[in-house]
Amino acid sequence: MTILIQNGHVVDPLTRKDGCYDVLIGDGRITKVEKEIAVAADRVINAKGCYVLPGLIDLHVHFRDPGLEYKETLSTGGRAAVKGGVTTVCAMPNTKPVMDDGEKIAKVHERAKGESLTRVIQLGAVTKGQRGEELADIRGMAKAGCHGISEDGKSVMNAALYRQGMKAARACGITVFAHCEDQTLVEQGVMNEDQNAQRLGLRGITNSVEDVITARDILLAKETKVKLHLCHCSTADSVKMVRLAKEEGLPVTGEVCPHHFILSSDDIKEDNGNYKMNPPLRSKADVEALRQGLKDGVMDVIATDHAPHAWEEKDKSMKEAAFGIVGLETSAALTYTSLVKTGLLSVMDMAEKMSYNPAKILGLEDRGSVSEGKMADLVIFDPSRTYKIDKNTFVSKGKNTPFDGFEVTGEVVCTLVEGKVVYDILSD
């Protein structure tokens, strides 16, 4: 099937195209990107007034499948992803059972082909069962296409064991995705340590909880020469350390989530479980540092840390609520509203941080670009639509978001995966 996208504003980080172009698609790939393409196609999509971007690649999601399907599944997570313009996701391994060997990884990949509208890359755990006692089957998982390992949800506190895991990852040519959290410093904290936490009578989490492990992991990456991707950075000092690592030429990349570059701990007006996430919302100074880091190119990636929970797990005090926020369906709109519309980033920057750079980190040469020969993973984004986020419209099983009722500008109106339209409201 051939598809012709006409009149759209193509933004391509690879070729630097940034203007009105037509895009022709055939056999799942982009065959032409030209000013005007006059050919007969099986379907014509009029993208006038919209951006045509490479499909978004989210390096950090929790699909909860297998074992926690009441929170999310490959199917519901995939639907949420394409609604948000996300055509590839990296699913974290803290499922039940934990993704710690090649057979489990391969099974998820095979299931995802039939059950998920988005492409799923299942990441593997660093240690067996994420118990921090012995290394998982890193070689077997790499052969199964995991692309990276992560102990996400916690850090491997045994530095010697973690170093061994880094060495194994480097030998296999895959990336270490680091959740930076010193578990000995958390001390049952549930939000940022500040006066607001004291006002609400809640235990705080200091910046050092993240920063200590960020420093450790960068130094271990320097020693082992492994590619290190720092997940959901939330502090000003994390940004400083990523900057220093890059200045030294280390293979270190940093990720920021929309909730961390938009909201601060000051936005928590009452004890509400939907504001409980890990790492927590930080100070306004930290938020500004993250935004500046994104602007300067120090922080490479915008990802969601999409973490769905059942409503009863969040509809309680932060003392008892589960950590996590959903984000797949809102990340593009929140990024455009907060960073692009305000002039901090360009649409090109947005495409780089949400598609092109993630593709490079994963080594996916066939994605992250609107150019000839690339896979036709594309998103059509309408920057003129203004609306309020409504959790009741989410297709994800998770409705846990502090952004319910938040006004945004910009909406994904069409998503294509391998040249197939998997989400479409363009004609609405």
Active-site annotation holds for 305: yes
CA distance 24 to 32: 5
What number of CA atoms fall less than 13 Å from residue 418's CA on the CB side? 6
- Encode 341-379: b = buried (16+ Cβ within 10 Å), e = exposed: eeeebebbbbbbbbbbbbbbbbebeebbbbbeebbbbbb
CA distance 35 to 175: 38
Q: Catalogue the E-assigned strands of 203-266.
A: 204-205, 228-230, 252-256
Of 58, 194, 305, 377, the catalytic one is: 305
190: left (phi over 0), alpha (psi -120 to 50) or beta: alpha
Return the structure tokens found at 269. 């007006």
Residues 6+ apart with CB under 8 A from 282: 192, 207, 234, 235, 260, 264, 265
Cβ–Cβ under 8 Å, residues 290 and 263 = no
CA distance 320 to 401: 16
Find how far residue 59's CA is from the centre of its chain: 4
CA distance 94 to 244: 31
CA distance 402 to 59: 21
| Helical H segments across 304-356, by residue range | 311-314, 331-335, 347-351
Return the structure tokens found at 110. 């095979």
* Active site positions, annotated: 305
